[in-house]
Amino acid sequence: MRLFRFFEGLVDPYGDYPETDTPPRRLLPFMLEYSKPFRTVFIFAGLLAIAVALVELVLIWAMGWVVDILAASPQEVWDQHGWALIGLGLFVLILRPILQALDVLILNNAIMPNYGTLFRWRAHRHVLRQSVGWFEDDFAGRIANRIMQTPPAAGEAVFQVFDALAYSFAYVIGSFVLLGGSDPWMMLPLAVWFGLWMLLMRWTVRRVKPASQAASDARSFVTGRVVDSYTNIHSVKMFAHHDREVAYGKEAIDEARRTFANEMRLYTIMDVCLTALNGFLIVSVVGMALWFWGLGVATVGTVAAATALTLRLNAMTGWIMWAMTNFFQQLGVVAEGMETIAQPIALRDRADAEEMRLSEGRIEIDRLSHHYGKGRGGLDAITLTIAPGEKVGLVGRSGAGKSTLVKLLLRFYDAEGGSIRIDGQDISAVTQESLRRRIGMVQQDSALLHRSVRENILYGRPDAGEEEMIAAARQAQAHDFILGLRDADGRTGYDARVGERGVKLSGGQRQRIALARVILKDAPVLVLDEATSALDSEVEAAIQDTLYGMMEGKTVIAIAHRLSTIAHMDRILVMDDGRIVEEGTHSELLAEGGLYAVFWARQSGGFLAMDAEAAE
């Protein structure tokens, strides 16, 4: 076990490395960048692969020598060559296994477990640094598939370099030397075969690489569609679209089948041509050896060695060809994965970014504009100051720009124009993590992590104690129902898992756990985006005091369609078409008789009748 641990510890896949926002976008530089920690191990792997190939050739030469010396009597053989035969036996019994063991230990234990791990670790770290907008533009399933698929493909490609390519290169060169030692003309059929074999390999590789990448793309597309269906299984069942989803998946699955079939056609052609070429190799090399033997210029041992060599090459070339095509197939998978893994980080911290220093919580927004690159929608030149500790409500129809304002405040996007300052600091000049640590947010769709209730609440402040965590749950009116939870594996209470995105809980339960998480975070700036929309009236009334307690001493921005939840705010902003069109207290806005007054008059059960207003 110590031997295994030694080789497994030759490279630390989690070691420090210079993190970059712009990884190489070309395949070779990309692979070389990830391979830097393995340079020394790769050198030893290459040398050992060559040594193992040379040992095999020595054994073939030795077989021919043994055939030649057997022409003498047994006593003469032992008298003249006994020690040489003993040495050969010790070579086969001791040195060959040692070289083979070192070769496989380097490959199987030093490279394979660590290379894929390093690749996946760094790729995952890089992808997690991407912006929210970047994730919104792709399937989560496809991103995850590439993170999972690319590292083993890269590891397999590296494995083939040393297990097959370095070995076969040394073996072929050694074969020329071995045959040429008998007679230079013996190298001629081997050279012709090798040239034709290289042409076949070139033809195959040039077609396999794009075919493999197309098949890999198609597989990722299948994953994206399947995960999309599974993630939204409630909608699939609720709208009775089983057949539609099956057809939606079948379209992608059939495309994956078509691309894979095209790839397999190439392998069939390669296999048939390779069989014909190897037939030529055996007949030409062995035939020439027999001809030279008949002329008296080659020994029986030469014929035996040539026969063994060609049969070995016949068996090996199929493996090498498959290894080569597999090598380029895996590179195709890596190239496809690079479309995700090697994308530059668009939303970056400045090189001189500092930690956010929040003393009061004053928010100043100056001519803020953002249209998501479309020239319309979003925000249009918003100017706004929120005093320290002020509670501001945001009201408006869907698409008015409320959520965009909040996303820009959290710097999920860089604004296309204008600026946001908190306590005098431009948020684009501070680190993203320090900014978000100082802002607590409860969203309308409070998706939870597929972990325990405890882990979800402690996500707000991981260093909090058990008593603090339970106190936050009590404040959010969540403690009692949490104690009654039990998951499929028998875990109960705070240890129960909540399912993907919290699917095992009701909307109200998810929202209360999300509230507990933000209560525990206790950030000085609080953003509530429809924080009570998933709660029934009884529970909402019960935690209303909790919400107001959370707001105490904090700067608050609250988005609401249920106007009763923001009627007591210090100030209410009415947004429409990306601009602030009204502002004031609840009573002031009602007195104005403007858009807010229309919302208030038209609301049903406290909700904005947005479609009705939009129609008017």
Work out the mean pLDDT of the chain and round it to a whole number. Answer: 83
- Name the one residue in this structure whose structure tokens are 């129960």: 496
**Residue 163: pLDDT band with limits 50, 70, 90:** confident
What is the residue range of 454's domain?
447-522
Question: How far apart (Å, rounded) are the C-alpha atoms in residues 387 and 420?
Answer: 14
The dihedral through the CA atoms of 519, 521, 526, 531 has a sign that is negative
Q: Can you give the pLDDT at residue 388? A: 92
Q: Are residues 302 and 376 in the same domain?
A: no
**Residue 616: pLDDT band with limits 50, 70, 90:** very low
Buried b (16+ CB within 10 A) or exposed e, 171-209: bbebbeebbeebbeebbebbeebbebbeebbeebbebbb
Q: Are residues 315 and 404 in the same domain?
A: no
Residue 351 lies in a domain: no
Residue 3 lies in a domain: no
Residue 308: is its pLDDT beyond 60?
yes
Q: Can you give the pLDDT at residue 471? A: 92
Q: Can you give the pLDDT at residue 182? A: 67
**Residue 537: pLDDT band with limits 50, 70, 90:** low
Q: Can you give the pLDDT at residue 610? A: 46
Q: Can you give the pLDDT at residue 541? A: 66
The dihedral through the CA atoms of 449, 455, 456, 458 has a sign that is negative
Domain finish residue from 494, 522, 550: 522
Question: If we measure between CA atoms, which residue out of 181, 184, 185, 189 comes closest to residue 302?
Answer: 181
Domain finish residue from 307, 341, 375: 341
Residue 361 lies in a domain: yes
Q: Can you give the pLDDT at residue 566? A: 82
Q: Are residues 554 and 607 in the same domain?
A: yes
Residue 461 lies in a domain: yes
Residue 557 lies in a domain: yes
The Cα angle at residue 478 between residues 475 and 479, in degrees rounded to 5: 90
Q: How many structural domains comprise the chain?
A: 3
Buried b (16+ CB within 10 A) or exposed e, 84-100: eeeebeeeeeeebeeee
Strand partners, 442: 528
Q: Can you give the pLDDT at residue 149? A: 83
Q: Can you give the pLDDT at residue 606? A: 46
Segment 557-569 shows an average pLDDT of: 82
Residue 258: is its pLDDT beyond 80?
yes
Segment 593-603 shows an average pLDDT of: 84
Question: How far apart (Å, rounded) are the C-alpha atoms in residues 172 and 213?
Answer: 30
Question: How far apart (Å, rounded) are the C-alpha atoms in residues 309 and 305?
Answer: 6
Least confident of 55-69, 76-90, 564-578: 55-69
Q: Can you give the pLDDT at residue 532? A: 65
Segment of 267-271, 338-342, 554-558 carrying the highest mean pLDDT: 554-558
Q: Can you give the pLDDT at residue 605? A: 43
Long-range Cβ contacts of 92-101 (<8 Å, 24+ apart)? 92/59, 95/55, 96/55, 96/59, 99/48, 99/51, 99/52, 99/55, 100/52
Q: Can you give the pLDDT at residue 223? A: 82
Residue 6 lies in a domain: no
Q: Can you give the pLDDT at residue 539? A: 62
Q: pLDDT: is 53 or 97 the higher one? A: 97
Q: Are residues 517 and 559 in the same domain?
A: no
Q: Are residues 162 and 296 in the same domain?
A: yes
Residue 1 lies in a domain: no
Segment 221-239 shows an average pLDDT of: 81
Q: Are residues 100 and 116 in the same domain?
A: yes
Question: If we measure between CA atoms, which residue out of 263, 253, 260, 257 comes closest to residue 223?
Answer: 253
**Residue 540: pLDDT band with limits 50, 70, 90:** low
Residue 348 lies in a domain: no
Question: How far apart (Å, rounded) are the C-alpha atoms in residues 254 and 261?
Answer: 10
Q: Are residues 296 and 248 in the same domain?
A: yes
Tens digits of per-residue pLDDT, 467-492? 999 999 998 888 989 999 888 888 89
Q: Are residues 455 and 426 in the same domain?
A: no
Segment 452-473 shows an average pLDDT of: 91
Question: Domain of 226: which CATH number?
Answer: 1.20.1560.10
Tens digits of per-residue pLDDT, 316-368? 776 777 777 778 778 878 888 888 888 888 888 888 888 988 888 899 999 99
Domain finish residue from 341, 368, 386: 341
pTM: 0.74
Question: Domain of 363: which CATH number?
Answer: 3.40.50.300
Q: Can you give the pLDDT at residue 534? A: 55
Segment 90-107 shows an average pLDDT of: 88
Question: How far apart (Å, rounded) are the C-alpha atoms in residues 273 and 513?
Answer: 64
Q: Are residues 404 and 460 in the same domain?
A: no
Q: Are residues 214 and 74 in the same domain?
A: yes
Q: Are residues 329 and 459 in the same domain?
A: no
Least confident of 7-11, 411-415, 550-554: 550-554
Q: Are residues 518 and 543 in the same domain?
A: no
Least confident of 210-214, 350-354, 528-532: 528-532
